Amino acid sequence: MTPRNFFARGLSILGHPALLMPLAVVGSALVQGAPPQVVRVAAAACGVVAISVGVYSMLQVRAGRWEHVDASAPNERGQLHRLLLLLLFGMPGLLWWMGQPRVLVVGLAITGGVVAVARQLRRWLKVSLHAAFAAFAAGLLWPNLPVAVACTLLAVGVAWSRRVLGRHSWDEVLVGLLLGAVAGLVFHGLAR
């Protein structure tokens, strides 16, 4: 493995949605001054989604149905999208039913919306969800400027890494970054 690919792989892992989004959601809750109980619920909800996706992906690879946990083949991505949509629209419904704050419900629903848009675009391109969620994480961390800027730089690095690793084309990572940025704007427009 070349140093460039090693660095790209590290960025891709660091910016993996299952790792980055729970951290961004908890960070956002802390930046917004959320009570500790809300931070714990946010962390638990994201943890359930991330762990569910991770376990499902590993089981698919172990059973020989997927080549890699990245779910790059069209049939693999279709299965992953269905699971993500179930989790990312089911979890906000559960949180709403439990009377949790609107910001948590809206944030998770928008995350599901990112996946739904990527699924709709699948006929034309394979949107990079790594790039989309990295850009969305930067939006969640706004208005903490230093943290949001650092996360934006990470999002650009993640997009670059996905291209270098051959998982996506430039169009796919750019659309992912744009989709994530729009999700961040929608979040701030609806969560208040």
Q: What is the pLDDT of residue 70?
A: 77
Categorize the per-residue pLDDT at 77 as very low, low, confident or very high, splitting at 50, 70 and 90.
confident
Query: How does pLDDT run across 145-170, given as a tens digit for each residue?
Result: 999 999 999 999 999 999 999 999 99
Residue listed under structure tokens 């709403």: 96
Average pLDDT, whole number, for the chain? 91
With 80 as the cut, is the pLDDT of residue 89 above it? yes
What average pLDDT score do residues 107-115 get?
93
When pLDDT is cut at 50, 70 and 90, the band that residue 143 belongs to is: confident
- What is the Cα–Cα distance from 192 to 183, expressed in whole angstroms? 14
97 pLDDT higher than 90:
yes
Asked whether the beta carbons of 12 and 130 are under 8 A apart, the reply is yes
Kindly provide the b/e burial profile for residues 135-158, where b requires at least 16 CB atoms within 10 angstroms of the residue's own CB.
Answer: bbbbbbbbebeebbeebbebbbbb
Calpha distance 69→50 (Å, rounded): 13
| End-to-end Cα distance, the chain | 46
pLDDT digits (tens, 9 = 90+) for 2-59: 999 899 988 888 888 988 898 888 888 888 888 999 899 999 999 999 999 999 999 9
Angle at 50 between CA 101 and CA 75, to 5 degrees: 120
Question: For 124-139, what is each residue's pLDDT tens digit?
Answer: 999 999 999 999 999 9
DSSP states of 67-81: SSTT--SHHHHHHHH
Q: Check whether 1 has a pLDDT greater than 90.
A: no
In this prediction, what percent of the chain has a pLDDT beyond 70? Answer: 99
